[in-house]
């Protein structure tokens, strides 16, 4: 399934037109094939060379060829990149000419897979490449880049080294029982395991934040009619997406917009104003959808008009949203207040002057359980979280066994299991099925 002895080719730049488009060749024949396409005898390593790319039939385009000999290339194999004009027709013709010259079309993620198989990167870094390419906010990109730089890998390596230090004397005492080298310091072992457990738990606690950064948060704006929900929605969206009028019951359909709140992708939903008595069947349907959206969202943004006295509708919404993640907005804060926002921990916000919008964004991050990011990037990958959790459970068992002065064999089984999970994360013990699932997520040319 994972052969690396042939030469693969693909367009490495996104579909569509652009100034430049890149065709990438990787494998033992990358350089001979590029020579055939360009009529050159050879390429100087890592030198930009102006070439004319031709098929057997005719010239295709002028391009810049760069040759990266193995092992110092992205894949660890011989790689040639041809930067041609960014026209799909031109790039496809170059790929076809390379295939005619003996290359094979690359599968999705195959360049990165080869980088992994040639130990240029580990599995965590390969996954980070996909996540970096897919990132939609700068924070997502930073988290992915951190993984690419090997942050998680080096933390795992440190924990693995600590495990090995515990394992070595245990194994020795098993091998030489007559030497009396018996499980020397169970208390010390239990303490070291306790410290390891704590750092694993810290990593896992961060993972929730990581998941939200990766997958985003949905926040529904709810409130009775005319309190300024759509105005707030437009403010957060940075565009006049929703219709705003002074007629109560303006919004009927649900409107959604993706916005970047402190680097986290939020999906904000504008909903119909909620009231007991709807004006017509359309509004009634809108209210029913608003109720569903309010319940389904991760966070409710409850808007209460501060320039008007609170009503029964407001109070029933306060009850309805209590006990779940919510942010209360005291809207129209540019007008004279009718009630005290501090009394119900509401954030005074004006969609007219922008007052309080920054506070609202911070409150959204807080309600979503995502504090302003610290310097340490969290793990955002579910595969990593699941394996780390199994490692944590194994180390917890070993720590308990050490504390109870259990036999070496018992501890060793759990400690080896924990190391096995670390190895699975970094791909030191690859499984074809895992690799297939990971690399399928890539697009072709990556």
Ligand X SMILES: Nc1nc2c(ncn2[C@@H]2O[C@H](COP(=O)(O)OP(=O)(O)OP(=O)(O)O)[C@@H](O)[C@H]2O)c(=O)[nH]1
Give the CA distances from residue 273 to residues 78, 244, 251, 284, 344, in Å, rounded to whole numbers and listed in that order. Answer: 62, 12, 7, 10, 21
Q: What is the DSSP string of 110-160?
A: HHHHHHHHTTSS-HHHHHHHHHHHH--SHHHHHHHHHHHTTHHHHHHHHHH
- Supply angle C-alpha 359, 362, 366, rounded to 5: 130
Number of residues that bind Mg ion (CB under 5 A): 4
26 binds Mg ion (CB under 5 A): no
Our CB check for ligand X shows the closer of 24 and 235 to be 235
226 binds Mg ion (CB under 5 A): no
177 binds ligand X (CB under 6 A): no
Residue 323 falls in which region: left (phi positive, over 0), alpha (psi -120 to 50) or beta: left
Binding partner of residue 350 among ligand X, Mg ion, none, CB cut-off 5 to 8 Å per kind = ligand X
332 binds ligand X (CB under 6 A): yes
351 binds ligand X (CB under 6 A): yes
Binding partner of residue 21 among ligand X, Mg ion, none, CB cut-off 5 to 8 Å per kind = none
Structure-block tokens of residue 232: 């707030």
321 binds ligand X (CB under 6 A): no
Q: How far is the CB of 270 from Mg ion (least distance, A)?
A: 6
- Is 250 within 8 Å of 230 (Cβ atoms)? yes
Q: Which residue is nearest to ligand X (CB)?
A: 273
- Is 404 within 8 Å of 367 (Cβ atoms)? no
236 binds ligand X (CB under 6 A): no
Query: 40 φ, ψ to 5°?
Result: -100, 150
For 250, which DSSP code?
Answer: -
Which member of 27, 109, 216, 225 binds ligand X (CB under 6 A)? 225
Q: Report the distance separating Cα 57 and Cα 45, nearest Å.
A: 28
Binding partner of residue 351 among ligand X, Mg ion, none, CB cut-off 5 to 8 Å per kind = ligand X
Q: How far is the CB of 251 from ligand X (least distance, A)?
A: 3
Which member of 230, 321, 331, 426 binds Mg ion (CB under 5 A)? 230
Give the CA distances from residue 391 to residues 69, 120, 395, 401, in Å, rounded to whole numbers and listed in that order. Answer: 39, 26, 6, 15
> Which stretches of 174-333 are assigned E, i.e. beta strand?
217-222, 255-261, 264-270, 299-305, 326-331
Binding partner of residue 292 among ligand X, Mg ion, none, CB cut-off 5 to 8 Å per kind = none
100 binds ligand X (CB under 6 A): no
73 binds Mg ion (CB under 5 A): no
- Supply angle C-alpha 396, 397, 401, rounded to 5: 115
- Is 53 within 8 Å of 61 (Cβ atoms)? yes
273 binds ligand X (CB under 6 A): yes
Binding partner of residue 231 among Mg ion, ligand X, none, CB cut-off 5 to 8 Å per kind = ligand X
331 binds ligand X (CB under 6 A): yes
From 189-197, 249-257, 373-381, 385-393, give the range in contact with ligand X by CB under 6 A: 249-257
From 104-112, 156-164, 328-336, 428-436, give the range in contact with ligand X by CB under 6 A: 328-336
Which positions touch ligand X (CB under 6 A)?
A: 223, 225-231, 244-246, 248-251, 272-273, 331-332, 334-335, 350-352
């Amino acid at each position: 399934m994972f052969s690396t002895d042939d030469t693969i080719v693909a367009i490495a730049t996104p579909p569509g037109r652009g100034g430049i488009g890149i065709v990438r060749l990787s494998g033992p024949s990358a350089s001979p094939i590029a020579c055939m396409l360009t009529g050159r005898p050879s390429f100087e390593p890592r030198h930009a060379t102006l070439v004319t790319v031709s098929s057997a039939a005719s010239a295709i385009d002028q391009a810049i060829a760069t040759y990266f000999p193995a092992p110092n290339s992205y894949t660890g194999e011989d790689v040639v990149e041809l930067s041609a004009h960014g026209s799909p027709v031109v790039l496809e013709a170059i790929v076809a000419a390379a295939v005619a010259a003996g290359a094979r079309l690359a599968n999705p993620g195959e360049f990165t897979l080869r980088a992994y198989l040639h130990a240029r990167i580990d599995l965590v870094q390969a996954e980070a490449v996909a996540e970096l390419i897919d990132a939609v906010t700068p924070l997502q990109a930073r988290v992915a880049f951190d993984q690419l730089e090997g942050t998680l890998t080096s933390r795992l390596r440190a924990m693995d080294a600590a495990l090995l230090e515990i394992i070595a004397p245990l194994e020795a005492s098993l091998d030489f029982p007559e030497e009396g080298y018996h499980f020397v310091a169970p208390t010390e072992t239990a303490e070291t395991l306790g410290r390891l457990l704590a750092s694993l738990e810290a990593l896992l606690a961060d993972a929730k934040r990581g998941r939200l950064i990766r997958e985003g948060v949905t926040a529904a704006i709810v409130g009775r009619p005319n309190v300024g929900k759509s105005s707030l929605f437009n403010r957060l969206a940075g565009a006049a997406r929703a219709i705003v009028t002074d007629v109560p019951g303006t919004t009927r359909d649900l409107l959604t917009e993706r916005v970047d709140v402190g680097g986290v992708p939020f999906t904000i939903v504008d909903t119909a104003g909620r009231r007991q008595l709807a004006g017509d069947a359309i509004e009634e349907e809108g209210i029913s959808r608003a109720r569903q959206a309010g319940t389904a969202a991760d966070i409710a943004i409850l808007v209460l008009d501060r320039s008007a006295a609170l009503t029964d509708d407001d109070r029933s919404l306060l009850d309805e949203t209590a006990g779940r993640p919510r942010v209360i907005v005291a809207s129209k804060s540019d007008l004279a207040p009718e009630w005290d926002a501090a009394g119900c921990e509401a954030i005074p916000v004006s969609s007219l002057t922008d007052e309080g919008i920054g506070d609202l964004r911070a409150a959204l991050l807080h309600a979503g359980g995502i504090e302003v990011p610290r310097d340490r990037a969290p793990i955002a990958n579910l595969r990593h979280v699941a394996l780390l959790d199994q490692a944590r459970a194994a180390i917890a068992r070993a720590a308990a066994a050490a504390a109870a002065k259990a036999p070496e064999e018992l501890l060793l089984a759990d400690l080896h299991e924990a190391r096995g999970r670390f190895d699975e994360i970094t791909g030191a013990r690859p499984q074809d099925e895992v690799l297939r699932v990971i690399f399928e997520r890539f697009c072709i040319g990556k």
